[in-house]
Amino acid sequence: MPGLKPQLTTRPIPYAEGTSPALKEAEFGVIVDGVADINNITASEFVEIERLLYTHGLVLFPGVKLTPKGQYELTQAFDPLALGEYGHGSVGRPEAKSILHPDLRNIPSNPAVQLIGNGPIDDSEITQGLRIPCVLKHPSHETFHKTALSEEDSKKGITRFYRWHIDASLYAREPPRVTTLYGLKMPTETRQTVRYDDGTGDELAVPLGGTAFVSGRIMFDLLPARLKSLAVRTKVQYAPHPYVWMGSAKSRSTGLGMESDGTEMSRDDLPPWSEDNIKIYPMLWKNPVTGNLHFQVHPSGVESMIIDPLPAGGEATADTLYPSGAHLTDLKEVRDLLYSMQRPAISPQYVYTHSWSPNDLALFHNRGTLHTITGAFQPHEQRAFWQCNIAASDAPVGPNEEDVKTWA
């Protein structure tokens, strides 16, 4: 009943064996039961769900019957001032050149909700007015990574992280606060192994098609002091139309940013762009509820780094990086530095991979986590999800003066 205290109960998400205690300490991920009607969340329920999202980063509702309208309304509730347009808009993937283009189908009744997945989907409850069968294709690392697994390894169930990212156009529009992902159809028995293939020997057992998440807060917490000092002083600049720009480049084998072979599209060949639509964001985004700093960088789209000098009174030590500030524009240097800061947090013990069951709804704090899909699907294997996120009404907020003093 509206106005009464909601009867929501929470429990921790099930961490895989070998998960670092850091996830438990950060209380990353929570399962919520007891929502009366997921399609008509009450005001008091929403207040609680919003707090849970910012506190835990990932909020799961198992076994709920969601409609596209209900999904859209729940997503929009996190940002009432947003215009209700899908996070990438149309500008984020101009023409067909964007690497995002083939993976998404808009649900006609609620275009900010997208059908994603794999295989021929012929259930009209799922396709919601899209032409049947709707043939979907789960993205494969083979088209995005510089190197590919051998056929033999793939047959054995070896796979990779596809692309670690934030859901954001990184150009013209602001990063959505939340993404909602609703699982309708997916294999639930098959297991695969993510191989990092970066010389570390790291591997992670995952369910086929599992969505992997890491906490941006833990990504920051793991940094040594000299990199924390750098992070708190740094902004990253994204390329114009980043998903077109990177379309001709190839990813690292971990899915965490790109190899630097000089194959990015030149600015002259990009669709029309303007300087004022280019995005420059702090490396660290401040959590509006907890005040924690989250390392939130979409590594594939970054073009340069702008580093502030140490604040007044801050004393450089032999360890301090760029104490007088800098603008780093060498793409390889920028990417290698960024990679050294982000890679520790995608190590197997810091990754939570959600093992989907039909009718699971996941909400993730898109300004506090990074995620990637995993898995390699055969053309006939069915996977169907609705996802929704909405370009935000404001830009993310970076560290405040106090944070800079504390960490620089």
Binding site for Fe ion (CB under 5 A): 167
Please say which residue, 100 or 306, places its beta carbon nearer to Fe ion. 100
Sequence letter at residue 382? Q
List, in sequence order, the alpha helices (H) in 145-259.
151-155, 216-221, 225-233, 242-245
Token pair for residue 184? 């309708």
Q: Minimal CA–CA distance to 213: which of 355, 117, 327, 111?
A: 355
Alpha-carbon span 136 to 289, nearest angstrom:
37
CB of 2 to Fe ion, least distance (A): 33
> How many C-beta atoms lie closer than 10 Å to residue 222's C-beta?
20
CB of 124 to Fe ion, least distance (A): 25
Tally DSSP H helices, then E strands, for the chain: 11, 21
Alpha-carbon span 246 to 170, nearest angstrom:
12
CB of 165 to Fe ion, least distance (A): 6
Alpha-carbon span 338 to 116, nearest angstrom:
30
CB of 386 to Fe ion, least distance (A): 13
Residue with CB nearest Fe ion?
A: 167
Alpha-carbon span 339 to 344, nearest angstrom:
9
CB of 92 to Fe ion, least distance (A): 12
| CB contact at 8 A, 179 and 363 | yes
CB of 372 to Fe ion, least distance (A): 8
CB of 86 to Fe ion, least distance (A): 12
Sequence letter at residue 51? R
Dihedral (CA of 299, 337, 279, 277) sign: negative
Residue 313 burial (10 A CB sphere; 0-12, 13-18, 19+) = exposed
Please say which residue, 167 or 360, places its beta carbon nearer to Fe ion. 167
CB of 103 to Fe ion, least distance (A): 10
Q: Strand 58-61 and strand 105-107: pairing?
A: unpaired
CB of 167 to Fe ion, least distance (A): 4
CB of 376 to Fe ion, least distance (A): 18
Please say which residue, 50 or 167, places its beta carbon nearer to Fe ion. 167
Q: Minimal CA–CA distance to 292: which of 213, 398, 170?
A: 398
Alpha-carbon span 177 to 210, nearest angstrom:
22
Rounding to the nearest 10 degrees, give the CA dihedral for residues 291, 294, 297, 299. 180
Please say which residue, 234 or 254, places its beta carbon nearer to Fe ion. 254
Cα within 13 Å of Cα(256), Cβ side? 23
Please say which residue, 102 or 325, places its beta carbon nearer to Fe ion. 102
CB of 43 to Fe ion, least distance (A): 28
Peptide bond into 133 cis (omega under 30): yes
Please say which residue, 167 or 303, places its beta carbon nearer to Fe ion. 167
Please say which residue, 159 or 387, places its beta carbon nearer to Fe ion. 387
Please say which residue, 167 or 264, places its beta carbon nearer to Fe ion. 167
Please say which residue, 167 or 197, places its beta carbon nearer to Fe ion. 167
Alpha-carbon span 76 to 70, nearest angstrom:
10
* Three-state secondary structure call for residue 251: strand
